[in-house]
């Protein structure tokens, strides 16, 4: 019987420590906060649970100990695409790793298992349903297994959105092993239910638990409320050509529409939704991951298992159903830590669309009456919280963090609200008229009827409802309708009114409304300054740049931008030859750093974050040459200009 001896001796020979591995294989100089604690805990032989947001660097937390521990590390991962991605990434970093899942033919599977038995791989990715198969057990029982690392560990929990029954096999598998390996688990889902489930179900023993904050400081958050949504999205893409991004739509129909129009308008886009054939979905996803198209237009079916690190923007063409979904989807931007943008293009219609989704949720049809009512109520509440995200004039990041139970700073300086200049405006008169109109019409009508009444509209509907006789008819004729909406939204946010969740959305008053109507309370709200021309936002500044993923610290000028383009093109070429996604050659962040350092020697190149010995061997020389050629070109140009003057 083969035992993983090779691995053991190989490791002992190397005698590397965690810092050396970090530098040599991954090209980084320092661990991020929490990574080191988690790694040390595992190396101490303790069970370990890491709860960190997307992009925080969870993989390294088990990959580095795996290279230092004696024996094999099994990594459990829910999706084939994730496993492939991780193994390809490790191979790029000069680490032997393999995956065992249903994408392999029986022949390939046996071959991989054979190599594993010879101790070729310190890290093996396994699909959970494989664990307790006779063939795999045979291997596991005769190999020294140092650690079982459970990635996306929230999949064990029925509370999570991605429950996988096969994850329950992990415990069964561990029970069969002669010696219990160290257990580690990682997830980006922060709720208490999920965390408790992970500890209970995986039976973690006195685990070290690390939770880091959920803020993603490199992400810019913006909410845009416009009539011409398509136009806005198109403008955005125009200003961010060449960048990789995702556009999320609420429905398949929207995906088709938006994708079709963008193609006709000459953009490099593809589409993704559950209505397409498996084959087309796979192809479109690959086109996106391999940067063959810049942008993918998708429903929420797209994204789980996408580790593409150079997504520079996530646009929401419509408001998702709750803040959890929003943060998860938006969070797919900027995994590499470089600046990225998350824009939500909101329209009032989105609320109704989502209400319909809640009403007709197929998943709920099987629930009993009472449970279904509770679930629907919870979903309505979440939808409301999501709607308020679109209305609020306070810091957007703060709003999200508070929703997840954290406290922000009230001012992040990197969201559309923090960057808009607001002024306090007394809107009592408008508010009182709105509330009065709702009250005198006996709370029977929806938003449109109320606003039309106040604006004095002469429509058949208004006459039919007799609203032209309402005491408030025409009272706010002079006020632009968008202002009326803003105030109504604000009244909703502050809970003076609410809009019912039924098929016919009706505006109703809360008890608080009487404070304004009867007790003379004043309503003052923050409104964007309109006197000067629209404030020059950071986004406008960014429009001039070719790529907003570039740092804004002044050191990054036109020269660096041009170099970045050159390096990016080289990256695409090399990736094509190696048949891997470009971000796996070097991340956007590594390329930007390279543009600042402009290394000439190998030594200098190795100081760039993300360039380790192994990557250097593969790609270093080519990048050095590219930079040298660029510098030479610059010098020539400089000389030419001098001669010219």
What is the binding site for ligand ADP (CB under 6 A)? 28, 31-32, 35, 52, 54-60, 307, 309, 335-337, 587
Closer residue to ligand ADP, CB minimum distance, 185 or 488: 185
- Pairwise CA distance, residues 585 & 567, whole Å: 11
54 binds, among ligand ADP, Mg ion, Zn ion, none (CB under 5 to 8 A by kind): ligand ADP
DSSP assignment string, 25-52 = II--SS--TTHHHHHHHHHTT--EEEE-
Angle between helices 558-578 and 588-597 (to 10 degrees): 130
31 binds, among ligand ADP, Mg ion, Zn ion, none (CB under 5 to 8 A by kind): ligand ADP
Shortest distance (Å) from residue 85 CB to ligand ADP: 9
Pairing relation of β-strands 97-100 and 123-126?
parallel
400 binds, among Mg ion, ligand ADP, Zn ion, none (CB under 5 to 8 A by kind): none
462 binds, among Mg ion, Zn ion, ligand ADP, none (CB under 5 to 8 A by kind): none
Which of these, 626, 419, 387, 408, lies nearest to 505 by C-alpha position? Answer: 387
- The set of residues, in sequence order, having a beta carbon less than 8 Å from that of 81 and lying 6+ positions away, is 285, 305, 306
Q: Which residues bind Zn ion (CB under 5 A)?
A: 395, 397, 412, 415, 418
- Pairwise CA distance, residues 44 & 90, whole Å: 24
Tokens of 254: 């929207």
32 binds, among Mg ion, ligand ADP, Zn ion, none (CB under 5 to 8 A by kind): ligand ADP
Helix, strand, coil proportions of the chain in percent (round to 5)? 50, 15, 40
Shortest distance (Å) from residue 582 CB to Mg ion: 19
476 binds, among Zn ion, Mg ion, ligand ADP, none (CB under 5 to 8 A by kind): none
The interface region with Mg ion, picked from 52-60, 128-136, 468-476, 585-593 by CB under 5 A, is 52-60
267 binds, among Mg ion, ligand ADP, Zn ion, none (CB under 5 to 8 A by kind): none
In angstroms, what CA-CA distances link 554 with 138, 189, 253, 559? Answer: 59, 36, 43, 12
Q: How big is the site for Mg ion, counted in residues (CB under 5 A)?
A: 1
Pairing relation of β-strands 422-426 and 524-528?
antiparallel
Q: Identify each DSSP E strand in 408-523 by its residue range.
A: 422-426, 497-499, 507-509
Tokens 């409104």 locate to: 527
Helix (H/G/I), strand (E/B), else coil: 625: helix
Tokens of 386: 């999501």
Closer residue to Zn ion, CB minimum distance, 395 or 450: 395
Closer residue to ligand ADP, CB minimum distance, 59 or 189: 59
The site string for Mg ion over 302-341 (x = CB under 5 A, - otherwise) reads ----------------------------------------
Q: Classify the C-alpha dihedral 627-631-636-638 as positive or negative.
A: positive
The interface region with Mg ion, picked from 54-62, 139-147, 263-271, 586-594 by CB under 5 A, is 54-62
Q: DSSP label at 128? A: G
Shortest distance (Å) from residue 411 CB to Zn ion: 6
Closer residue to ligand ADP, CB minimum distance, 259 or 567: 567
Closer residue to Mg ion, CB minimum distance, 88 or 269: 88
Shortest distance (Å) from residue 63 CB to ligand ADP: 8
Which of these, 121, 123, 138, lies nearest to 173 by C-alpha position? Answer: 138
Shortest distance (Å) from residue 59 CB to Mg ion: 5
Closer residue to ligand ADP, CB minimum distance, 339 or 501: 339
Which of these, 254, 283, 486, lies nearest to 353 by C-alpha position? Answer: 254
Shortest distance (Å) from residue 58 CB to Mg ion: 5
52 binds, among Zn ion, ligand ADP, Mg ion, none (CB under 5 to 8 A by kind): ligand ADP
- Pairwise CA distance, residues 635 & 639, whole Å: 6
153 binds, among Mg ion, ligand ADP, Zn ion, none (CB under 5 to 8 A by kind): none
- Write out the binding residues for Mg ion, residues 57-96 only, by CB under 5 A: 58
* 406 within 8 A of 213, measured Cβ to Cβ: yes
Closer residue to Mg ion, CB minimum distance, 58 or 615: 58
- State which residue has the least CB distance to ligand ADP: 57
* 302 within 8 A of 318, measured Cβ to Cβ: no
335 binds, among Mg ion, ligand ADP, Zn ion, none (CB under 5 to 8 A by kind): ligand ADP
- Pairwise CA distance, residues 160 & 158, whole Å: 5
- Which residues contact Mg ion (rule: CB under 5 A)? 58
């Amino acid at each position: 019987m083969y035992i993983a001896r090779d691995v053991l001796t190989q490791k002992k020979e190397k005698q590397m420590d965690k810092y050396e591995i970090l530098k040599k294989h991954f090209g980084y100089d320092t661990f991020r906060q929490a990574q080191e604690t988690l790694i040390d805990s595992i190396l101490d032989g303790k069970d370990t649970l890491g709860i960190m947001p997307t992009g925080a660097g969870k993989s390294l937390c088990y990959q580095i100990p795996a290279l230092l521990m004696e024996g094999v590390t099994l990594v459990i991962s829910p999706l084939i695409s994730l496993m492939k991605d991780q193994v390809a990434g490790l191979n790029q970093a000069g680490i032997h790793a393999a995956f065992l899942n249903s994408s392999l033919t029986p022949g390939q599977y046996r071959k991989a298992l054979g190599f594993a038995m010879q101790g070729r791989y310190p890290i093996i990715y396994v699909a959970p349903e494989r664990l307790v198969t006779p063939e795999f057990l045979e291997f596991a029982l005769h190999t020294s297994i140092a650690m079982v690392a459970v990635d996306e560990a929230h999949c064990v929990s029925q509370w999570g959105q991605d429950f996988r029954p096969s994850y329950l096999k992990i415990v069964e598998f561990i029970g069969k092993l002669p010696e219990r390996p160290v257990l580690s688990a990682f997830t980006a889902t922060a709720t208490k239910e999920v965390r408790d489930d992970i500890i209970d179900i995986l039976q973690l023993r006195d685990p070290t638990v690390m939770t880091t904050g959920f803020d993603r400081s490199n992400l810019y958050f913006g909410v845009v409320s416009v009539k011409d949504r398509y136009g806005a999205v198109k403008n955005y893409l125009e200003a961010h050509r060449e960048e990789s991004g995702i556009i999320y739509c609420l429905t398949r129909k929207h995906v088709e529409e938006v994708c079709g129009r963008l193609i006709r308008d000459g953009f490099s886009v593809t589409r993704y939704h559950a209505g397409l054939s498996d084959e087309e979905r796979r192809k479109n996803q690959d086109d996106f991951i391999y940067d063959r198209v810049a942008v993918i237009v998708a429903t929420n079916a797209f994204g789980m298992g996408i580790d593409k690190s150079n997504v520079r923007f996530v646009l929401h063409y419509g408001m998702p159903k709750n803040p959890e979904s929003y943060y998860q989807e938006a969070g797919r931007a900027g995994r590499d830590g470089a600046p990225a943008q998350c824009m939500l293009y909101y329209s009032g219609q989105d609320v109704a669309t989502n209400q319909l989704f809640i009403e007709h949720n197929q998943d709920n049809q099987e629930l009993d009456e009472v449970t279904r009512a509770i679930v629907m109520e919870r979903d309505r509440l979440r939808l409301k919280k999501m709607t308020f995200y679109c209305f609020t004039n306070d810091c957007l990041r703060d709003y999200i963090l508070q929703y997840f139970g954290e406290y922000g700073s009230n001012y992040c300086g990197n969201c559309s609200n923090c960057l808009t200049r607001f002024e306090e405006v007394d809107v009592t008169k408008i508010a009182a008229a709105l509330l009065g109109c709702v009250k005198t019409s006996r709370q029977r009508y929806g938003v449109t009827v109320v606003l039309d009444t106040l604006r004095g509209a002469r429509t058949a509907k208004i006459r039919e409802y007799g609203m032209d006789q309402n005491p408030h008819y025409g009272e706010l004729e002079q006020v632009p309708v968008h202002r009326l909406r803003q105030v109504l939204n604000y009244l909703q946010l502050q809970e003076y009114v609410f809009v019912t969740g039924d098929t016919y959305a009706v505006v109703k008053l809360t008890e608080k409304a009487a404070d304004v109507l009867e007790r003379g309370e004043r309503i003052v709200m923050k409104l964007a300054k309109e006197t000067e021309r629209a404030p020059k936002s950071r986004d406008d500044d960014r429009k001039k740049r070719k790529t907003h993923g570039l740092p804004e610290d002044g050191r990054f000028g036109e020269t660096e931008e041009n170099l970045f383009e050159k390096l990016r093109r080289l990256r695409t070429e090399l990736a094509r030859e190696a048949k891997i996604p470009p971000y796996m050659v070097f991340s956007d962040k590594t390329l930007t750093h390279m543009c600042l350092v402009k290394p000439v020697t190998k030594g200098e190149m190795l100081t760039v974050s993300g360039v380790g010995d192994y990557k250097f061997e593969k790609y270093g020389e080519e990048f050095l040459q590219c930079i040298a050629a660029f510098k030479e070109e610059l010098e020539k140009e400089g000389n030419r200009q001098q001669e010219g003057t």
